[in-house]
Amino acid sequence: MHKIQTATEAYKWWRDIPAPKRGELIRVFGNLLREHKQALASTVTAESKKTYTEALGEVQEAIDMCDFATGLSRQIGGLTLPSERPNHSMQERWHPLGVIGVITAFNFPVAVWAWNFCLAIICGNSVVWKPSERSEQCARDCQEIFNLACDAWDNNSEPAKQLLQIINGGSEAAIELAENPSVALVSATGSCEMGRNIYPRVAQRLGKCLLELGGNNAAIITPSADMELTVKACTFAAVGTSGQRCTTLRRAFVHSSRYDEFVTKIKSAYATIPSGDPMDPKVLMGPLISGRFVEPLIVEKTQQDDIMRTETFEPILYVMKYDTLEQAIHLQNDVPQGLSSCIFTQDIKEMEHFISAHGSDCGIANVNIGPSGAEIGGAFGGEKDTGGGRESGSDSWKSYMRRQTITINYGNDLPLAQGVKFDF
């Protein structure tokens, strides 16, 4: 593919640019995103159908990633390690991977790309982006803003503009990225089925893969839960983006002593949710990506069945009673996915149990907030069928680099490790 070759050549130039200088480009890009925030958010709403306030938040997330990556550009580095041999030192360095393939979904057409792009760029890579077929204008707008940033960053801006290549298309374009040996890492966000299709193709050529797949996220509402806070948090988590987030709340396990109260109050909350034109600032719930308007649904269950274990990308919340915390944690974990989870409690013992190794098995475990709305400072991702990848904050930058261990002998002798003798 021509664009992958172009990205390869751009990477060979870019890897020699000092990391703080790379960070300066991302800083300029972040400032231009601020200037174009409202216009880009309007495009997000037009294509993804999420409310305008959520779209503004998504662009802000991209801006936050720019700020994070700019600072990180002066910090990415390895370690100096003690050697067991005299007059030897050991180092650990990190080098860019090369071309990074990024596959994104319709529901977060800007933010998830920015998680990957900002880190990949400051790490010294180039990016080939395949957006969802439903959000290709968002990708074009982001590329246009990035080109403006390149112009403002350096007079010789053409090489920098080649760092971002966009390929459009459906599954065939994603498969081409996955199978191309010039793509060092494929970061793919989408359904579990998509991940099962992409991962073996990357693995076949021993490439690297970062998967952010589906979620079937749960809330545990304990006897001590602050019910007003709980209902508000669960309502947003269940109906935000019309239930089309990978972190949407899909299951609520409520202690039997608070069950009736929770169900009554969340039904009342649902009755007040205004739906309609997502550009209307009063609207909290727009249509599904298909354009159909639906009402959020609450389904009361007496047992967790295969329907509950299957992720539904719509605003459907299953509610079920539990009697012991161990039972609730088992029910929460008893699904194929392992992205996000939460507990509502004022009991520190319950909280610690939930976030311990024998508590939630998800990549994200929240206390007294819902499972959605993650900040960029923490690593984002999940376990099991969610794919195991981590994006955004913390040390996720390491996914976009290769580690090199270096041993330096600055003496005149050649002592061997582990006391091995080889004299002649």
Per-domain boundaries in the chain: 2-213+387-405, 217-367
How far from chain centre, in Å, is Cα 110? 11
What is the spatial distance between Cα 100 and Cα 396, in angstroms, rounded to a whole number? 14
Token duo for residue 163: 């760092």
Neighbours of 127 (CB within 10 A): 25
Residue 365 host element (H or E): strand 364-367
Q: What is the mean pLDDT of residues 303-331?
A: 97
Q: What distance lies between CA 266 and its chain's CA centroid? A: 28
Distance (Å, rounded) from C-alpha 101 to C-alpha 352?
A: 38
**Two tokens at 168?**
């459009």
- CA distances in angstroms from 314 to 34, 53, 69, 213, 363, listed in the order given: 31, 19, 33, 16, 22
Looking at residues 89-110, what average pLDDT do you find?
97
Q: Largest Cα–Cα distance of the chain, in whole Å?
A: 86
Identify the band that residue 158 occupies on the pLDDT scale cut at 50, 70 and 90.
very high
Region 212-216: mean pLDDT is 96
Q: Which of 364, 373, 256 is nearest to 319 (CA)?
A: 256
User: Would the CATH topology of 2-213+387-405 be identical to that of 217-367?
Assistant: no
Q: What sign for the dihedral angle of Cα 90, 74, 186, 152? A: negative
User: Cβ contacts of residue 241 below 8 Å, gap of 6+?
Assistant: 48, 50, 54, 107, 248
Catalytically annotated residue among 54, 58, 61, 212: 212
As a whole number, mean pLDDT of residues 370-374 equals 94
- Is 80 exceeded by the pLDDT of residue 1? no
When pLDDT is averaged across residues 193-201 and rounded to a whole number, the result is: 96
Q: Which of 126, 156, 160 is nearest to 25 (CA)?
A: 160
| Residue 234 falls in the annotated catalytic set | no
Cβ atoms of 309 and 291 closer than 8 Å: no
Which residue in the list 246, 311, 342, 362 is annotated as catalytic? Answer: 246
What is the mean pLDDT of the segment spanning 147-151?
A: 98
How confident is the model over 39-49, as pLDDT tens digits?
999 999 999 99
* pLDDT over threshold 90, residue 196: yes
Query: Phi and psi for 30 in degrees, rounded to 5?
Result: -60, -40
Indicate the fold that domain 217-367 takes in CATH. Answer: Aldehyde Dehydrogenase; Chain A, domain 2 (3.40.309)
Query: With DSSP H G I counted as helix, E B as strand and the rest as coil, what are the percentages for the chain, rounded to 5?
Result: 40, 20, 35
Say whether 150 is catalytic.
no
| Phi, psi angles (nearest 5°) of residue 201 | -70, -35
Residue 424's pLDDT band, with cuts at 50, 70 and 90, is: confident
In single-letter form, the type of residue at position 357 comes to A
Share of the chain above pLDDT 90, in %: 97
Q: CATH classification of 2-213+387-405 is 3.40.605.10, yes or no?
A: yes
Note the pLDDT tens digit of each residue in 252-282.
Answer: 999 999 999 999 999 999 999 999 999 999 9
Q: At what angle do helices 171-179 and 192-204 cross, to 10 degrees?
A: 30
Tell me, what's the pLDDT at 156?
Answer: 83
Q: Amino acid identity of 354? A: F
Query: Which residue from 283, 265, 266, 264 is spatially nearest to 275, judged by alpha carbons?
Result: 283
What is the average pLDDT across 286-302?
A: 95
User: Is residue 155 predicted with pLDDT exceeding 90?
Assistant: no
Position 205 pLDDT exceeds 80: yes
Question: What is the overall mean pLDDT for the chain?
Answer: 97
Count, residues in the chain: 424
